[in-house]
Structure 1
Amino acid sequence: MNDFWAAVKEAGLTPEIREGLRKRYRMRGQKALDAVESGRVEKYNDFFVVKGRNEDYIVEDDFCTCKDFTYRGRCCWHILAVQIAALTGQYTPKDAWYLDTLGQNRWT
């Protein structure tokens, strides 16, 4: 873990850390902060899930199901949001398997 992410883990989302995220990741950093602060990061038993404007995105390690990640193959704001949430504990825990929730309400 590099020094920046170690500082996030140790200090949390201080004004300096927030500014560092914006400088380092620009709009992606801001979107990640917004997602964390608005409670849109959930931790299921199998994956982290970030709720976007139109759909949910599964994040596992350095992989995301969003189009930005698929096309660029690099870090998207969903991955940043999960990294921030995991280090600061700012996520909603879900005692369920996300893959099991996908089919719910489909047949009703």
Structure 2
Amino acid sequence: MNTTAASTDPKAFSSFAEFYPFYLGEHSNRTCRRLHFVGSSLALACLTMLLVTGKPQYFLYGLLCGYGFAWLGHFGFEKNKPASFKRPLYSFMGDWVMYKDIWTGKIKL
């Protein structure tokens, strides 16, 4: 299957294993990846605050941080639309796999 961003509809993938190379292609810009990393880190901090304080607004803050930084990366630097618009679950999973891959050195920041 051709997984280039320009020719592939994210809905065409039948598994996350097929989707993830496409996802990485949608994150080839280093600044975009860095913004995703910052947003994901802040989202985890907000989740921690939610668990520590019990204040539900931290859930909203986490969503705003996670998606806000990611979308800034896509619209401002990657110049594409986030795949989350068409494959929200796979995109969410891809965010966290990429986050892990950055921490483990598989993907450069």
* TM-score (norm. length: structure 2): 0.31
More strand by share: 1
Q: TM (normalized to structure 1)?
A: 0.31
